Chain A
Amino acid sequence: MASPYSKELLLDMYRKMYLIRRFEERAGQQYTLGKIAGFCHLYIGQEAVAVGPVEALRPDDYMLSAYRDHGQPLARGSDAGMVMAELMGRDTGYSKGKGGSMHIFDIEHHFYGGYGIVGGQIPLAAGMAFASRYRNEDRVTVCYFGDAAASQGALHETFNMASKWKLPVIYICENNRYGMGTAISRIAAVPEIYKRASAYDMRGEPVDGMDVLAMYEAVKDAAEYCRAGKGPVLLEANTYRFRGHSMADPATYRTKHEVEEERKGDPIPKLRAYIKKQGLAQDDVFESIEEEVNVLVDQAVKFADESPEPSLDELWRDTIVEEGEEDVRPRERVLGQKVNWPTYPSGQELKVTWDLEPREQAEAADKKAGLIR
C-alpha cells in the first residue's frame, strides 16, 4: 500500500530528527569539554516526540516545554548556532546567554520557553490557550512536560480549569519512565499518566513516542479537536531517553540491558526503514541529508564557540521593562535578519465575544435550585 505521507514530509521528519540527534551528541561532547556548564538535559531517544507534533501543527501554534528543551525549537526552525550559543552562555544565544540550556526561548518561532521548575509551565500553557480563546483565534497551544511533573499540583489545578473552560491546549507528557533517577512506577499510584485526564472529563490517550508517525497522527487529530472548541487533550508519549537525566547523571538506576533493549526502538532508524520500505528514498538520500546536517551542526558549534560572552552591561537589562522599551528579536539582533514578530490587537480593537459562563445557564441553575438572587 502506498504511504499516506508525502516523501517531502517524511524526509523533513527524518532530517529534523537527525538534526536533534546530531546537535545533542555535539552538545554532550561540548559539555565534557567544559564549553557547556550547569545542567544540560539531552533529548537523545525522544526526537520523535518533538518532530511528529511540530509537523502536525501550524507554525503559529504556541509551544512550550520543560528544561529538556533543545529538541522542540530545533524542530520548529530555530537557528542551531544560536541555540548552541545559548548553551555555551554566549551573547549570540537566543537569550544572550542569560538562560542557558534549560531556558531556550524563540518567540519568532512561537516557542515560548523551557522551564526549570517541574510542572511550572503547565498553567502557563493553559493561559496562552485562554488568550487564544479570549481573542477568538483558532490557535492551539502545545505543552510538553515529563512523567514526574504529572504528580505536581499545578497539573491537576490546570487540567480542571482547562477542561471546564474548554481551552485549546494539547498536553504532551513525555513519559521517559524516570523522573531523574526515580522510576515512575515507584512514585505514581497510576503510572499510566493519560488516565489522569479522565478525572477532569478530558480526552487522554497513550501514544507510541518512539514512532514519529504515531506522534504526528495523534497531534494532528488532537489539534483538530482543540480548534473545534472541544477542549484540551492529554497525550502520553511513551518514550525513552538513551542518556542520563542530565549530563551529570551516570544513570546507574537502570540496567545496561534495559537501555540496550530500548535502543532497538530508536525512532530514527525506524523512520528510515519505513521510508525505504515505501520505496520513497534509498541510502544515498539519507546519507546526503546526514552529511548536510553534520556540516550545519559543525558550523553551529563553531559559531557558538567563536562568539563572545555577553557584555557586563547586559546584567542591567531584561529585568524590568522600561517605558517605551521594545522586545528583543534575537535573529534580528544577532544575524541582522528581519523577522516576523507576534502582534496583538489593541484594547480598543479587541472585541471579546466569549461567554465563559452563559448567564441563562447560570440563571437556570439558580432557578432549579430555588435560588433568588
Chain B
Amino acid sequence: MPELMYREALNQALAEEMERDANVYLIGEEVGRYNGAFKVSQGLLDKFGSARIIDAPIAELGFTGLSVGAAMVGLRPVVEMMTWNFAILAMDQIVNNAAKLRHMSGGQLRCPIVFRGPGGAGGRLSSQHSQALEANYAHFPGLKVIAPATPADAKGMLKAAIRDENPVLMFEGERLYAIKGEVPEGEHVVPLGKADVKREGSDVTIITWSRMYYFCMQAAEELAKEGISAEVLDLRTLRPLDEEAILASVRKTNRAVIVEEGWGLAGVGASVVDIIQSKAFDDLDAPVERVTGLDVNMSYAANLENATQPDAPKIIAAVKKVLYREGA
C-alpha cells in the first residue's frame, strides 16, 4: 500500500471523484492557480479547468451560499474553507440554508455539498486562527460532521462525503496535512457515521478524533510500557455519533477518557459522556474523565500555546485517574 501525506490523500480523493462525476466542482480561496493554501488542490486546475476548480474572492458567506444554491439544483460542490475560523462568516448559509433546505421544503429539495478545511490549532497563530469548531456544527440536525485523523480515513471519508446526499462538514487540520500513512488505492470509501478502533486494549477506552488521535496513540504506547492496556477509539464522525461503537468499547474496558482539542463546555465529549452514563452506567468502574483544551483563548507565546492544548502527559494522567492509579 502506498504511503501518502494527508494532503495527498485528500488530493487523490478530489481528483478521483471529479473524474467520476462532472457535477463535482471545487471552490475556495487560492484553490486554483495558487494550488491551495495547504496544497490540497495541487495540480487540479490543470486537470479540470477553471469552471471546476474555482478561485473565489474572499467572501466566505458569498461563495458558500452560492454553492448551496448550486447543490439545490443538482451540482455537488466541494467548498474549501481556507480555515474553519474564516467559515464562521459563512455559518448562516451552512446552518440556516444547507441544514434546513430538506426540512423547509418538506422533502422536496436535497443539498449534497461538502464544506471542508483545516480546524484546530495551526501553531503559533493566536486566538483567531486556532479554534477547534467542530462542536458548534455537530449541534445542528441536517448536517453531518466528520474529522478524520489518518490519511487513509481522510481519503475514504472525503469520497464518501462527496457521494453523500446531505451537507457534510469535514474538519481537517493544518498540522495533519503533512502526516504520512498508508492509503489504499482506488475505490477506497469509508462510510460516514462509523467509529474505528485504532488500537485494541482492555483496561481503558480513550475516545478521540482528528489530531488528538496522535496524542492518544502516543499516550497508549507510554501506558503499555507500564502494563496498562488502552483501547483507542477514533470517532471519525461527530454527527451522527457511533453510539454502538462507543458503548461496545466501554462495556469491554469499563473505563473511559475522552480527548477533545476544543473547549470542554458544550463540547462533543460532553455528549459522549452522556451516552455512556445513560446507557452504560452499570458497566463503569470509574467516572468518565475528559481532557479538553483549556477554557481560555489561544495565545501566541509557545509555552502558553502548548499548555492550552491536550497532550500525551495530560491524557496519561487522566487514564491513571480512571484506573485509580494517580501518582503511580
Query: Contact at A347–B24, with CB atoms within 8 Å?
Result: yes
Interface residues of A in 126-177 (CB under 8 A from B): 126-132, 134-135, 153-154, 157-158, 160-161, 164
What residues on A are CB-neighbors of B49 within 8 Å?
352, 355
Query: Contact at B69–A124, with CB atoms within 8 Å?
Result: yes
Whole-angstrom distance between the Cβ of B86 and the nearest chain A Cβ: 13
Interface residues of A in 239-285 (CB under 8 A from B): none
Q: Which of B73, B108, B141 contacts A128 (CB 8 A)?
A: B73
B2 at interface (Cβ–Cβ under 8 A)? Answer: no
Interface residues of B in 30-77 (CB under 8 A from A): 32-33, 49-52, 54-57, 59, 61-76
B102 at interface (Cβ–Cβ under 8 A)? Answer: yes
B21 at interface (Cβ–Cβ under 8 A)? Answer: yes
Query: Contact at B106–A94, with CB atoms within 8 Å?
Result: yes
Judged by DSSP, the binding face of A is: loop
A369 at interface (Cβ–Cβ under 8 A)? Answer: no
Interface 0/1 of A329-373, CB less than 8 Å to B? 110000000000010111111111011111100100000000001
Query: Contact at A362–B108, with CB atoms within 8 Å?
Result: no
Give the contact stretch, choosing among B92-100, B151-159, B205-213: B92-100
Please report the total number of B residues contacting A with Cβ < 8 Å.
52
Q: A96 vs B32: C-alpha distance in the bound complex, in angstroms?
A: 43
B269 at interface (Cβ–Cβ under 8 A)? Answer: no
Query: Contact at B69–A125, with CB atoms within 8 Å?
Result: yes
Query: Contact at A130–B106, with CB atoms within 8 Å?
Result: no
Known: A160-B57, A355-B50, A358-B50. A99 touches B104 (CB 8 A): yes
Known: A127-B72, A161-B56. A99 touches B62 (CB 8 A): no
Q: A183 vs B168: C-alpha distance in the bound complex, in angstroms?
A: 40
What residues on A are CB-neighbors of B92 within 8 Å?
117, 120, 154
What residues on A are CB-neighbors of B55 within 8 Å?
357
Closest chain B residue to A152, Cβ basis: B61
Query: Contact at B62–A321, with CB atoms within 8 Å?
Result: no
Query: Contact at B57–A127, with CB atoms within 8 Å?
Result: no
Give the contact stretch, choosing among A201-209, A298-306, A312-320: A312-320
Query: Contact at B108–A105, with CB atoms within 8 Å?
Result: yes
Q: A345 vs B73: C-alpha distance in the bound complex, in angstroms?
A: 11
Closest chain B residue to A98, Cβ basis: B106
Query: Contact at B141–A327, with CB atoms within 8 Å?
Result: no
Whole-angstrom distance between the Cβ of B6 and the nearest chain A Cβ: 26
Query: Contact at A117–B96, with CB atoms within 8 Å?
Result: yes
Interface 0/1 of A112-127, CB less than 8 Å to B? 1101110010111111
Interface 0/1 of B88-117, CB less than 8 Å to A? 000011001100011111111110000000
What residues on A are CB-neighbors of B72 within 8 Å?
112, 124, 127-128
Query: Contact at B69–A356, with CB atoms within 8 Å?
Result: no
What residues on B are CB-neighbors of A287 within 8 Å?
none
Q: Which of B20, B59, B63, B165 contacts A321 (CB 8 A)?
A: B165
B297 at interface (Cβ–Cβ under 8 A)? Answer: no
Query: Contact at B104–A130, with CB atoms within 8 Å?
Result: no
Whole-angstrom distance between the Cβ of B132 and the nearest chain A Cβ: 24
A187 at interface (Cβ–Cβ under 8 A)? Answer: no
Closest chain B residue to A137, Cβ basis: B73
Please report the total number of A residues contacting B with Cβ < 8 Å.
67
Q: A129 vs B70: C-alpha distance in the bound complex, in angstroms?
A: 8
Q: A106 vs B108: C-alpha distance in the bound complex, in angstroms?
A: 8
Query: Contact at A350–B22, with CB atoms within 8 Å?
Result: yes
Closest chain B residue to A344, Cβ basis: B74
Whole-angstrom distance between the Cβ of B180 and the nearest chain A Cβ: 28
Most buried by B among A98, A320, A321, A349: A320
Whole-angstrom distance between the Cβ of B61 and the nearest chain A Cβ: 6
What residues on B are CB-neighbors of A62 within 8 Å?
73
Query: Contact at A321–B104, with CB atoms within 8 Å?
Result: no
Query: Contact at B104–A113, with CB atoms within 8 Å?
Result: yes
Q: A264 vs B62: C-alpha distance in the bound complex, in angstroms?
A: 40
Closest chain B residue to A130, Cβ basis: B70
Query: Contact at B21–A161, with CB atoms within 8 Å?
Result: no
Query: Contact at B62–A123, with CB atoms within 8 Å?
Result: yes
B142 at interface (Cβ–Cβ under 8 A)? Answer: yes
A328 at interface (Cβ–Cβ under 8 A)? Answer: yes
Query: Contact at A123–B108, with CB atoms within 8 Å?
Result: no
Query: Contact at B105–A103, with CB atoms within 8 Å?
Result: yes
Q: A131 vs B111: C-alpha distance in the bound complex, in angstroms?
A: 13
Known: A327-B110, A357-B55. A123 touches B61 (CB 8 A): yes
Q: A131 vs B24: C-alpha distance in the bound complex, in angstroms?
A: 11
Most buried by A among B70, B93, B104: B104
Query: Contact at B25–A134, with CB atoms within 8 Å?
Result: yes
A-B contact pairs, 7 of them (CB 8 A): A95-B104, A95-B107, A105-B104, A123-B62, A131-B74, A161-B56, A318-B105
Q: A113-B109, A328-B107 are in contact. List 20 more A-B contacts (CB 8 A).
A: A94-B105, A99-B105, A107-B105, A124-B66, A124-B69, A127-B65, A131-B74, A158-B62, A161-B57, A320-B142, A320-B144, A321-B165, A328-B106, A328-B108, A342-B73, A345-B74, A346-B21, A347-B20, A348-B21, A356-B54
